[in-house]
Amino acid sequence: MKRFLTFFVTLILFSLPASAQEEPSRILFFGDSITAGHGIDKQKAYPALIQQKIDSLGWNYKAVNGGLSGETSSGGLRRIDWMLKQPVSVFILELGGNDGLRGIDPEVTKSNLQKIIDKVRAKYSDAAIVLAGMQVPPNLGSDYTDAFRQVYPELAEQHDVELIPFLLEGVGGNDELNQSDGIHPTAEGHEVVAQNIWEVLEPILRQNRSER
């Protein structure tokens, strides 16, 4: 009887797809209220929409929403060690927008984002890192907005991370895709954001799967 049970269990395990036998690789979306899905159902925020895209392909990844409303780059730096207690295969860094709205020196933002990237690399050297570029309204002057915009491509080049040029491309400034505050995307806006991310993320996930 024992031998039969052992055979039966083994047969079930081998009949399951590999993805059902393995723990899913974690994709950590680390950001502020945009990532958190402020003002909408969290299941309609872009991390959940990315999970839907992954599930439709049958890929074994779990999208983790690490967004926190009001988060700045300095707040993220204080929080990152706790968020890295669980394994991370892909790290999406979406921070800095609140820095820009508060007029924080772009060099401070850049330094904080760099330190977050360094911590991820130190803990999970094989993790792919994606930096989500942000922009700020022109009310603080062109010098500030230009300096802030350059933070992201400069970091991506200096630290060899993938870049989403502007996370809110097609959403920022579009009243129909933003809530009444003009800052946070609607559920429809999150669909556009998810596609902006997917264009960069999908090739990374595909490559990771081919290397396993």
Reduced to 3 states (helix: H, G, I; strand: E, B; else coil), residue 143 is: helix
Tokens of 143: 């010098």
Across 35-139, the runs of DSSP E, i.e. the strands, are 61-67, 90-94, 128-132
Helix (H, G, I), strand (E, B), or coil: what is residue 178? strand
CA distance 31 to 33: 7
Active-site residues, by number, are 33, 181, 184
DSSP state of 63: E
Query: What does residue 129 show for φ and ψ, rounded to 5 degrees?
Result: -120, 130
- In DSSP terms, 132 is beta-bridged to 164
Whether 60 contacts 22, CB under 8 Å: yes
Per-residue CA distances from 175 to 135, 136, 154, 190, 192 (Å)? 17, 16, 30, 13, 14
